Amino acid sequence: MDTIRIRPSPEEDIETSRIEKNDKIKEIISRMHSYRTKLGFFVDREFEARSIIAGEDIAVGGMITVLYGPKGCGKSTLFRVLSRAADQAGSGLDVLVVERSEEALQKALLYLPKSFRGLGESIAGYLRDSQISPDRVTIVSTSTIFGIAFTLASYIASRLRRGRRVLIVADEVKADSPEHLSNFRQWLESFANDIAEYNRIYSEKGGSIAVIALTSDALIKELRDVVGRKVDWALMWNLPRNAFEDLISQIGSHHRVAREFGISSEEAKEILWKLAGGNPRALGLIWEKGVMKWLEDEVLRNLSDLVEELRKPFGEKLWEELERASNSIDDADIDLKKAMLRKNIVIYIAGADKISEMPREQWIGKKYAYQIPAYHYALKTMAKKSTDISPEEVIKETVG
C-alpha cells in the first residue's frame, strides 16, 4: 500500500514557524537572565528583547533605528547580553556591537559573535588601522563608530554568502554638542540610503541587515524634526518597579539605605524607587557613594549649574518657572526645557516607539519626563526655597 504524505497547508506552515520563533525568543531571554552584569544577574527587559528579536517594530532590515533613553537605563548592557545569548542559542540572529574604547578615545571596538569569528581577519582588513584581540575576539580600529558600522554593512552585503539576520549596534553615539549632533545627522542621512541598498543586496541571499544607534543624550530631539522618516525612533526606559526591586535585592542596597536613615527595608526600597526610578546606573552609584553623597554629586550639582545658567535670562521669574516645571514638566517654559535637555535632566518621550513599559508617576509627563525622579523632587524642593538646598531637604520632600 502506498504511503500518502499530507502536505501542511500554508496556514499550518505559518503557525509552525511562529511557534518555533516564539520558542527561540524564549530561549534567548532565558539565557539573558543567566548572565551577570556589574550589579548582579541581568533582570527583566523581556519586553524590549522581544521587540528587538522579532524585528517588526524596531531593528527592521534595511532601516536605522535611533534608540535613546535616560543615561544609565541599561541600553548598552541589554545589547551586550542579547548578543551573547543570541549567539549561544544559535538563533540565526547575529548582534555585532561597536563601541568607543574607554582606554583610547581615538579607537573603537568591534565585538564579533561566534558565527563571525572566522571572518575576523577579513573584516579587519577592511577597517582602518585595525588589529584583532584574540582573547575577546575583538577588533580594535582607529575608524569611528560610524565608519565601522558602514564598513560592516558593506562587507556583509558584498562578501557573506550565507543569509542571516544581522544587527549592527553603534553603542553610545555622542549627541551632546552642536558638532556631535551635526556628525550624527550627516551619518544618519547618508547611511539611511546605503543601508537600504545593502539590505536589498543581502536579502537576495536570504538575510537582512539592520542598524541600531544607541544614545543617551537628550539633545537628540533636535535631530528628529530634521532627519524625520529616514530613520526609526525608539525609546527605552528605566527598569519597571518589580525588576528594579529585584536588582535592589541582589545588590543589597536597601539594607544600606535602611541603616543610613534608620528605616525598614521596605521603606528603603520606596526611597530608592523615588530617587532612581528604576535606573540601574543611579542605583549602582547610590550603593557606591551612599544616598547623600550621590545626591550632592550627581543631582544637586547639575541643578545648581542649571540655576546659574538661567538666572540672567529668567530673572525674578526663575523660581516660579522652576516650580511650574516641578509640578508638570510638560507645562514648563520651552527655554527652560531646552536647558534641561542639554543637561540631561529631562528627556523628550513623545513621537517614538516605546519599547519599554512606562510607569505612571508624577515625574513622567506625556511629552517630557525627568530622566530620574531625584531631579523632580530636588527641583520641587529648590523652587520652594528659592535657593540652593541640601540632600537632607531633598529626602524630606521625597518621603513626603
- 85-104 tens-digit pLDDT: 999 988 789 999 999 876 65
Percent of the chain with pLDDT over 70: 93
With 0-12 / 13-18 / 19 or more C-beta atoms within 10 angstroms meaning exposed / middle / buried, residue 54 is: middle
CA atoms within 13 A on the CB side of 238: 30
C-alpha 246: how far from chain center: 20
Task: Answer with the residue of higher pLDDT: 372 or 23.
Answer: 372
| Chain segment 232-250, per-residue pLDDT in tens | 999 999 999 999 999 999 9
For the chain, what is the mean pLDDT?
Answer: 90
Give the model's pLDDT for residue 20: 66
Residue with cell string 511650574:
324
Q: What is the pLDDT of residue 9?
A: 47
pLDDT for the residue numbered 90: 83
Domains (range + CATH), the chain: 10-235 (3.40.50), 241-399 (no CATH)
Q: Please report which confidence band the pLDDT of residue 2 belongs to, taking 50, 70 and 90 as the band edges.
A: very low
Helices (H), the chain: 10-32, 46-54, 75-89, 120-124, 145-159, 178-203, 221-227, 241-251, 253-261, 265-276, 280-289, 291-294, 301-314, 318-327, 334-342, 373-385, 391-399
Q: Which pLDDT score is estimated for 136?
A: 63
- The tens digit of pLDDT for each residue in 329-355 reads 999 999 999 999 999 999 999 989 999
Give the dihedral of Cα atoms 328, 333, 338, 343; nearest 10 deg: -50
Using pLDDT thresholds of 50, 70 and 90, give the confidence band for residue 19: low
Give 105-161 pLDDT, tens digit per residue. Answer: 678 999 999 889 889 999 999 998 898 887 667 999 999 999 999 999 999 999 998
At 17, the pLDDT band (50, 70, 90 cuts) reads low
5 DSSP assignment: P
User: For residues 287 and 321, is the Cβ–Cβ distance under 8 A?
Assistant: no
State the sign of the Cα–Cα–Cα–Cα dihedral 110, 156, 56, 192. Answer: positive
Q: What is the mean pLDDT of residues 37-41?
A: 89
C-alpha span between 193 and 71 (Å, rounded): 29
pLDDT surpasses 80 at 1: no
**Band of the pLDDT at 13, cuts 50, 70, 90?**
very low
So what's the pLDDT on residue 104?
58
Q: Residues with Cβ < 8 Å from 207, sequence gap 6 or more?
A: 156, 160, 162, 163, 164, 165, 166
Greatest Cα-to-Cα distance within the chain, rounded to the nearest angstrom: 96
Q: Look at residue 265 and tell me whether its pLDDT is greater than 80.
A: yes
Confidence of residue 3 (pLDDT cuts 50, 70, 90): very low
CB 108 within 8 A of CB 145: yes
Q: Taking CA 115 as the corner, what is the angle to CA 109 and CA 119, rounded to the nearest 5 degrees? A: 65
